[in-house]
Amino acid sequence: MPAKWTVDELTPGRTVEATFWPNEHEGTAFKLRATHLDGRRAPKVILSNDDRIIAGVPCLVRVVAVHKLERDDRGRIEVEFVSRAPFKIEGVWLDPTVSKKLQVLLESGLNILLDGPQGCGKTVLARSIADSLGMTFVFFNCGAVVEASDFLVSIQVRASASGAPVTDFVKTDILTALEDAGDHPQRKYLVFLDELNRCQESARNALMPALDSTRRVFHPIDNTFMPIPDNVQFIAAVNRGREFTGTFGIDAAQLDRFAPLQMDYPPQQAEIDILSKRHPQISGANLDIIVTVANAIRQAADLPGSLSVRATDEACVYLEHPLFADDGKRALPEILKTSFCGRFPGRWDDLTTDAGAVWALVRKSLATCRVPLPDDDAPAG
């Protein structure tokens, strides 16, 4: 597909997808403008006054008129609203109903809490949302937060020219994004709070006014409260369960600041499709074996944890490397011993440990898939 549209292609009546932003050019009669249609650069600026178009939200529009066809440096393309664009998320699987709920929450601007097992794609989903909606993505891991101020600044001590200690306040990506959002209201920002339940409850409490209708947070450098701009949306992610160390419960008041969405691991075929796009050189048969074994582990009721999508992706990284690629299926047992068993406590060759129980499941599943197994790799009972 060409990188840029030609004027001849954009005839009146053609329907295309676009994302519009407020038109800040002086003297213009149009409230909204865009530069791309269906992801391709347009030959002229795209303008509209259709009140049904929401700035920052992808939509389908119909070309109404193209002005000054003969000029390459002037003119405009006028469009009208047709419908909201289909919600597209790349690189992660979502249940269709959850996808609809997610679209509603994003359009409403509500804070979203992604709750699901480790490695099911919460971070990938958040990044994909930002990419899909043209938002600036701000990632922040809450695991290092001890005090409430840690969300916005870190304190660094350095030596001055005289040798005396000097304390500096270094802004976090969150504070930088909040300030930038206030300076650039035409942009949208998605602040992703990963591992929200890994920070102390007292620190999370200080964040609550930023997440409710108050929409403000204490600025530790200016020693005052700063407003949260309307073009900032928060998405948080949590892992919950007894197998997670260093996590804390989220109380009812904190949960009530979010609209919760439950996520899970993708169905087998969906995970194969995701992996095949990331690792196209791996055969469909080998991908099917990897995911079949992973699902057997995920469905085991007696294991304290589960197996993330990162584990199947890691197995593919091994398998596609020249050091293993020539071995084909023969390499799978050794690869899965590392990528799957290594994510559980204990040793693969000790059946009394979780890793040993996983290896027993791996061996059983590989045998079902007719993958040759070394005779000396059975775990000790």
Instruction: Could you please state the CATH topology (level 3) that the domain comprising 96-259 is classified under.
Output: Rossmann fold (3.40.50)
Which pLDDT value is given to residue 134? 77
Q: Please say if the pLDDT value at position 113 is more than 60.
A: yes
First to last CA, the chain: 59
pLDDT of 207 over the 80 cut:
yes
Which pairs with CB-CB distance under 8 Å and at least 24 residues apart come from 174-183?
174/138, 174/140, 175/151, 175/219, 177/136, 177/138, 177/232, 178/217, 178/226, 178/228, 178/229, 178/232, 180/136, 181/229, 181/231, 181/232, 182/227, 182/229
pLDDT at 28: 81
**Mean pLDDT across the chain:** 88
At residue 42, the pLDDT reads 93
The alpha carbon torsion through 328, 330, 334, 336 (nearest 10 deg) reads 60
Orientation angle between helical segments 332-339 and 309-320, nearest 10 degrees: 140
Q: Which of 224, 243, 213, 368 is nearest to 296 (CA)?
A: 368
Task: Specify the CATH architecture of the domain 7-84.
Answer: Beta Barrel (2.40)
CB 231 within 8 A of CB 22: no
Q: From CA 24, how far away is CA 18, in angstroms rounded?
A: 18
Q: Are 233 and 106 in contact (CB under 8 A)?
A: yes
Residue in the structure block whose two tokens are 């979010």 = 258
Rounded Cα gap, residues 78 and 95, in angstroms? 37
Tell me what pLDDT residue 245 has.
Answer: 53
The answer to whether the CB of 151 falls within 8 A of the CB of 220 is: no
pLDDT for position 261: 93
Q: What is the pLDDT of residues 228-281, one digit of tens each?
A: 999 999 999 998 655 555 556 788 888 899 999 999 889 999 999 999 999 999
Summarize the confidence of residues 103-123 as an average pLDDT: 89
What local confidence, expressed as pLDDT, does residue 314 receive?
Answer: 96
Confidence of residue 286 (pLDDT cuts 50, 70, 90): very high
The pLDDT assigned to 329 comes to 82
pLDDT in tens, 290-343: 999 999 999 987 887 788 899 999 999 999 999 998 877 889 999 999 999 999
Q: How far is CA 271 from CA 94, 233, 264, 284, in A?
A: 11, 29, 12, 12
**Pair of tokens at residue 208:** 């609550």
Q: Collapsing DSSP states into helix, strand and coil, what is residue 223?
A: coil
As a 3-state breakdown, the chain gives helix, strand, coil percent values, each rounded to 5, of 35, 25, 40
pLDDT at residue 378 greater than cutoff 70: no
How high is the pLDDT of residue 246? Answer: 52
- Asked if 65 and 7 count as a contact pair (C-beta separation under 8 A), the reply is no
- Residue 11: its pLDDT value, please? 92
| pLDDT-based confidence at residue 86 (cuts at 50, 70, 90) | confident
147-161, 203-217, 283-297, 334-348: least confident range: 147-161
Domains of the chain: which residue ranges? 7-84, 96-259, 268-368
Structure-token pair, residue 59? 């939509």
| pLDDT score of 35 | 92
Mean pLDDT in residue range 83-93: 79
- pLDDT at residue 60, rounded to an integer: 95
Mind listing the pLDDT tens digit for each residue in 3-59?
789 988 999 999 999 989 888 887 788 999 999 999 899 999 999 999 999 887 889
- pLDDT surpasses 70 at 376: no
Residue 244 pLDDT:
58
Q: Give kind and range of the element (H or E) at residue 41.
A: strand 40-48
Percent of the chain at pLDDT above 70? 95
Whole-number CA gyration radius for the chain: 26
pLDDT recorded at residue 163: 74
Of 216 and 303, the structure prediction assigns the larger pLDDT to: 216
Q: Cβ atoms within 10 A of the Cβ of 241, count? A: 11
The candidate with the shortest Cα–Cα distance to 229, out of 284, 194, 171, 185, is 185
The backbone torsions φ and ψ at residue 118, rounded to the nearest 5 degrees and listed phi first, read -60, 140
**Using CA of residue 128, residue 134, residue 135, residue 136, what is the dihedral sign?**
positive
Residue 131, pLDDT score: 82
- Cβ–Cβ < 8 Å for 129, 87: no
